[in-house]
């Protein structure tokens, strides 16, 4: 916590993507604090630096690794550094650099500073209107909530601070606030400011996806309520996002009825895999992950059009034009069930295994984000894997997506399953339970159909009756589709942690994760059975500096010295 010192935001820290004039304004250097907060530009500069901090290499690394590395999606790749390898082995020590949370607290402190000082600028500068003040506070509050959400999903209880660090007199030796207490506060904070957030920064502008909007607030609230177990509230906020996207679809379709690449899958508008008249798939990937800021985007960190800040995480960890194999690879069981075998994991018609994963020397590596364009003839249920034409980025300017439409659709599906309550195999569903399951299935089916080029019902398609037999079966349907759709986007481990919290047991998580371990699987099973092992350890430096912070019991010294 010693790192939470006030920062006079140097311009190098605030260079952000060139998605608008707002994001090009750079903070000034060498300014005395009391002379700084005098005009609108000062507020914009520091707000800008909040986004810049989220785009830092440290933050992006942790978003991906905290949210994915311990899941069944990832293992070591090429030249994997030791700290990351130890995570893949479930041998995470308090000295591992990836448990250092300083980069997120730095962003939190910047957000706290904006919230603290912006009202005084509103009183001084008539150009900084009341509406702009409220919108600015909404942006900073939502970004702060997002940072804390990452922290509690990773560490559970963490020190919770809402005041800026202004001088050395402040006490930073704070005890950790419990997960649920912080979660409640985050919900309260974002609920309070959501109506002040900007709906749109203008037609067809990248700011609508690379800055916090009201719809980004809605997506975050849906996620927060899903973790809280308030499922109807989750559905309500998902519907606000979905309805907005439906309206966007209808407006754009009216303007361009023949050349528009978005189609309806059920009631959900999604970017089609094949453009009109084409026999080649891959359009969905190219628009969402190649070009970025797509129709489906709700909030993403922008690098594509910025030539001064690179997304170094993608190049180093996933792969680059110089080396298609990054430090992160794909576990053999996934590779064997996609590229090399039976396609039990993805159907052969599923475009996503060709978009998510690349094959080299009989091993699977991450392709998502690495390429700016992917194209292939539509696969069939027979024959070999189609030839993929992929354009690898010549630089590392890939946007990092935090929320997109299919994520929201599948959050909604999960909430519908949970609203149905506990259903055992052989149990007759009530009409209400049937409706919840049908709603959940419809969301999954829309995402699945898009990925499999199934615009209408055909043979070889998901069948409702195969899954509406129990809660666990429907949960697995939703979680499996989230895994396929959001693979390598920093979501899977968090999904499994949420499952563990809901059940009060790690058994189903272990069943899903264990197939990736080719060695010491028995020892790993025992280790993952520990209740608190789903969380990460606190960093040793933080424990030394803060006597009120106590290590997660699953990582106490006598336990963490084991080496699997």
Chain centroid, CA 25 distance in Å: 27
- Tokens 């295994």 belong to 353
Residue, of 261 and 203, whose pLDDT is higher: 261
Question: For 87, what's the count of Cα atoms within 13 Å in the CB-facing half-sphere?
Answer: 32
- What is the model's pLDDT at position 9? 39
Which tokens in the block code for residue 452?
């499999």
Domains for the chain: give ranges and CATH numbers: 1-197+521-564 (1.25.40.390), 280-400 (no CATH), 410-520 (1.25.40)
Give 301's DSSP letter.
Answer: E
pLDDT greater than 60 at residue 290: yes
pLDDT greater than 50 at residue 22: no
* Contact yes or no for 74/483 (Cβ under 8 A): no
Residue, of 171 and 274, whose pLDDT is higher: 274
Q: pLDDT band at residue 347, thresholds of 50, 70 and 90?
A: confident
What confidence tens digit (pLDDT) does each residue in 192-250 have?
999 999 999 988 788 999 999 999 999 999 999 999 999 999 999 999 999 999 999 99
- What is the model's pLDDT at position 306? 61
* Contact yes or no for 168/142 (Cβ under 8 A): no
Q: pLDDT band at residue 34, thresholds of 50, 70 and 90?
A: low
- Tokens 């603290």 belong to 116
- What is the model's pLDDT at position 33? 61
Q: pLDDT band at residue 560, thresholds of 50, 70 and 90?
A: very low
Q: CB 505: neighbour CB atoms within 10 A?
A: 13
The residue-averaged pLDDT of 339-348 equals 75
* Distance (Å, whole) CA 211 – CA 140: 10
What confidence tens digit (pLDDT) does each residue in 309-320 have?
789 899 999 998
Q: Which of 213-227, 334-348, 486-500 has the lowest mean pLDDT?
A: 334-348
pLDDT greater than 50 at residue 29: no
Exposed e or buried b for every residue in 168-199, given b needs 16+ CB within 10 A? eeeebeeebbebeebbeebbebbeebbebbbe
Q: pLDDT band at residue 360, thresholds of 50, 70 and 90?
A: confident
Q: Which of 9-23, 206-220, 440-454 has the lowest mean pLDDT?
A: 9-23
Q: pLDDT band at residue 163, thresholds of 50, 70 and 90?
A: very high
The full length of the chain comes to: 564
Q: pLDDT band at residue 362, thresholds of 50, 70 and 90?
A: confident
pLDDT greater than 70 at residue 562: no
The residue-averaged pLDDT of 24-48 equals 72
The residue-averaged pLDDT of 46-72 equals 96
Name the burial class of residue 520, with classes exposed (0-12), middle (13-18) and buried (19+) by CB atoms within 10 angstroms of its CB. middle
Give 552's DSSP letter.
Answer: -
Highest mean pLDDT among 298-307, 480-489, 551-560: 480-489
Q: CB 227: neighbour CB atoms within 10 A?
A: 21
The mean predicted confidence, pLDDT, of the chain is 89
76 contact partners, CB below 8 Å, separation of at least 6: 84, 85, 88, 327, 328, 329
- What is the model's pLDDT at position 259? 74
pLDDT greater than 50 at residue 31: no
Residue, of 559 and 108, whose pLDDT is higher: 108
Partners of 265 in the β-ladder: 268
Which tokens in the block code for residue 316?
């180093």
3-state secondary structure 52-67: HHHCCHHHHHHHHHHH
pLDDT greater than 70 at residue 429: yes
pLDDT greater than 80 at residue 287: yes
- Radius of gyration (C-alpha) of the chain in whole angstroms: 23
Q: Which of 147-161, 168-182, 218-232, 504-518 has the lowest mean pLDDT?
A: 168-182
- Tokens 């050349």 belong to 259
Residue, of 308 and 57, whose pLDDT is higher: 57
pLDDT greater than 60 at residue 25: no
pLDDT greater than 90 at residue 289: yes
- In this structure, the dihedral spanned by the alpha carbons of residues 236, 490, 291 and 324, taken in order and rounded to 10 degrees, is -160
Q: pLDDT band at residue 564, thresholds of 50, 70 and 90?
A: very low
- What is the model's pLDDT at position 63? 98
Which tokens in the block code for residue 168?
């050395």
- What is the model's pLDDT at position 307? 58
Q: pLDDT band at residue 278, thresholds of 50, 70 and 90?
A: confident
Q: pLDDT band at residue 340, thresholds of 50, 70 and 90?
A: low
* Distance (Å, whole) CA 258 – CA 252: 11
What confidence tens digit (pLDDT) does each residue in 363-415 have?
889 999 999 999 998 765 556 678 889 999 888 889 999 999 999 999 999 99
% of residues, the chain, pLDDT over 90: 73
* Contact yes or no for 36/42 (Cβ under 8 A): yes
- What is the model's pLDDT at position 396? 84
The residue-averaged pLDDT of 16-42 equals 57
- What is the model's pLDDT at position 168? 67
178 contact partners, CB below 8 Å, separation of at least 6: 156, 157
* Contact yes or no for 156/535 (Cβ under 8 A): yes
């Amino acid at each position: 916590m010693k790192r939470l010192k006030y920062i006079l935001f140097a311009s190098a820290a605030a260079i952000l993507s060139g998605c608008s004039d707002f994001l090009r304004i750079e903070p000034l250097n060498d300014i005395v604090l009391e002379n700084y907060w005098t005009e609108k530009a000062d507020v914009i500069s520091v707000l800008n630096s909040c986004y810049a901090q989220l785009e830092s290499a440290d933050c992006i690394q942790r978003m991906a690794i905290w949210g994915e590395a311990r899941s069944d999606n990832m293992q070591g790749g090429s030249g994997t550094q030791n700290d990351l390898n130890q995570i893949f082995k479930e041998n995470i020590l308090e000295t591992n650099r990836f448990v250092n949370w300083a980069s997120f607290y730095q962003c939190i402190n910047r957000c706290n500073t904006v919230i603290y000082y912006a009202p005084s600028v509103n009183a001084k500068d008539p150009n900084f209107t009341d509406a702009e003040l409220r919108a600015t506070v909404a942006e900073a509050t939502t970004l702060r909530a997002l940072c804390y959400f990452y922290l509690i999903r990773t560490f559970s209880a963490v020190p919770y601070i809402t005041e800026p660090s202004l001088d050395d007199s402040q006490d930073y030796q704070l005890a950790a606030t419990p997960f649920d207490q912080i979660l409640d506060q985050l919900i309260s904070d974002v609920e309070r400011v959501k109506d002040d957030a900007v709906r749109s920064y203008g037609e067809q502008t990248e700011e609508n996806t690379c800055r916090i909007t009201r719809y980004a607030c809605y997506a975050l609230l849906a996620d927060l309520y899903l973790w809280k177990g308030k499922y109807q509230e989750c559905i309500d906020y998902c519907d606000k996002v979905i309805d907005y996207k439906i309206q966007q679809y209808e407006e754009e379709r009216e303007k361009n009825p023949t050349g528009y690449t978005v189609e309806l899958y059920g009631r959900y508008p999604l970017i089609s895999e094949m453009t009109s008249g084409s026999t080649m798939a891959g359009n969905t990937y190219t628009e969402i992950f190649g070009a970025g800021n797509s129709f489906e985007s709700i909030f993403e960190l922008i690098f594509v059009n910025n030539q001064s800040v690179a997304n170094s995480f993608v190049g180093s960890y996933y792969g680059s034009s110089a080396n298609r194999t990054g430090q992160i690879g794909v576990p053999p069981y996934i590779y064997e069930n996609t590229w090399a075998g039976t396609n039990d994991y993805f159907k052969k018609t599923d475009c996503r295994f060709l978009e998510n994963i690349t094959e080299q020397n009989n091993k699977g590596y991450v392709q998502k984000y690495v390429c700016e364009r992917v194209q292939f003839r539509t696969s069939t249920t027979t024959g070999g894997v189609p030839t993929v034409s992929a354009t690898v980025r010549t630089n590392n300017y890939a946007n990092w997506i935090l929320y997109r439409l299919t994520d929201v659709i599948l959050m909604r599906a999960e909430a519908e399953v949970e609203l149905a309550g506990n259903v055992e195999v052989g149990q007759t569903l009530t009409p209400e339970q049937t409706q919840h399951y049908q709603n959940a299935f419809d969301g999954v089916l829309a995402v699945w159909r898009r990925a499999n080029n199934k615009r209408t019902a055909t043979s070889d398609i998901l069948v409702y009756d195969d899954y509406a037999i129990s809660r666990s079966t429907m949960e697995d349907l939703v979680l499996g589709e989230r895994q396929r759709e959001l693979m390598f986007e920093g979501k899977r481990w968090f999904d499994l942690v949420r499952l563990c919290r809901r059940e009060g047991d790690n058994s189903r998580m272990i069943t899903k994760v264990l197939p990736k371990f080719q060695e010491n699987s028995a020892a790993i099973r025992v280790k993952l059975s520990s209740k608190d092992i789903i969380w990460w350890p606190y960093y040793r430096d933080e424990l030394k500096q803060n006597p009120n912070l106590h290590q997660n019991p699953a990582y106490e010294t006598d336990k963490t010295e084991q080496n699997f």
